[in-house]
Amino acid sequence: MSDHYYSSNPKAAHQRKTWETVLRGQNYRFISDAGVFAKEGVDFGSRTLIEAMKIAPAAKVLDVGCGYGPIGLTAARLASQGHVTMLDVNSRAVELAKENAAANKISNVTILESDLYAALDEGQYDIVLTNPPIRAGKATVYAIFEGAHDRLKPGGALWIVIQKKQGAPSAKEKLESLFASVEEVAKDKGYRIFKAIKQ
């Protein structure tokens, strides 16, 4: 089956659903659909990242592979005087993220359809967040790491969630080849949260 959540234009028949959840103590209402990642609800890996990530109120944040938006929209509420740019290759996910931003009255976001970082200008970020699309392959995941390093300000941090069985040890080695400091800040049920700081 060629239709994945990391396809640019999923062909799966629409199965829109709406549900409510609590993230970082705040209520959210999300709309999801077939053809996007974790359509049944916020996945455990994303939740683990959301609970661990530290974002300053004025931070400039980038969410790579935003899906329908739970990580980036939570970040936008945390960065209440900052701004979050959210990227996804999946056009359906991008439209859902825009709907979810509006439904949750979150306006300090820019949501773009983008193959990795292609749609971005030359701006630099304080924080990059990603729950990377492991099934898209190691080359894609490592391209996310490399692009994050290029777009972070000195002292900025990449926050990533990855499962141990899906390559957390090799991902950590890759991060250590790029970043000055790589710390495992949380782990739960086989998921690891890494924070990688740029020199």
pLDDT at 95: 97
Give the whole-angstrom CA distance, residue 76 versus residue 60.
Answer: 9
pLDDT at 2: 43
Rounded to 5°, angle at Cα 41 from 112 and 49 = 70
pTM: 0.95
pLDDT at 3: 55
Asked whether the beta carbons of 35 and 10 are under 8 A apart, the reply is yes
Residue 173: C-alpha distances to residues 119, 169, 170, 176, 194 (Å): 28, 6, 5, 5, 11
Asked whether the beta carbons of 53 and 129 are under 8 A apart, the reply is yes
Tokens 């304080």 sit on residue = 126
The DSSP secondary structure of 100-153, one letter per residue, reads HHHHTT--SEEEEE-STTTT--S--EEEEEE---GGG-HHHHHHHHHHHHHHEE
DSSP-derived letter for residue 3 is -
Give the whole-angstrom CA distance, residue 168 versus residue 193.
Answer: 9
pLDDT at 6: 65
Q: What is the pLDDT along the chain (199 residues), one digit of tens a residue?
A: 345 666 778 888 999 999 999 999 999 999 999 999 999 999 999 999 999 999 999 999 999 999 999 999 999 999 999 999 999 999 999 999 999 999 999 999 999 999 999 999 888 999 999 999 888 899 999 999 999 999 999 999 999 999 988 888 999 999 999 999 999 999 999 999 999 999 9
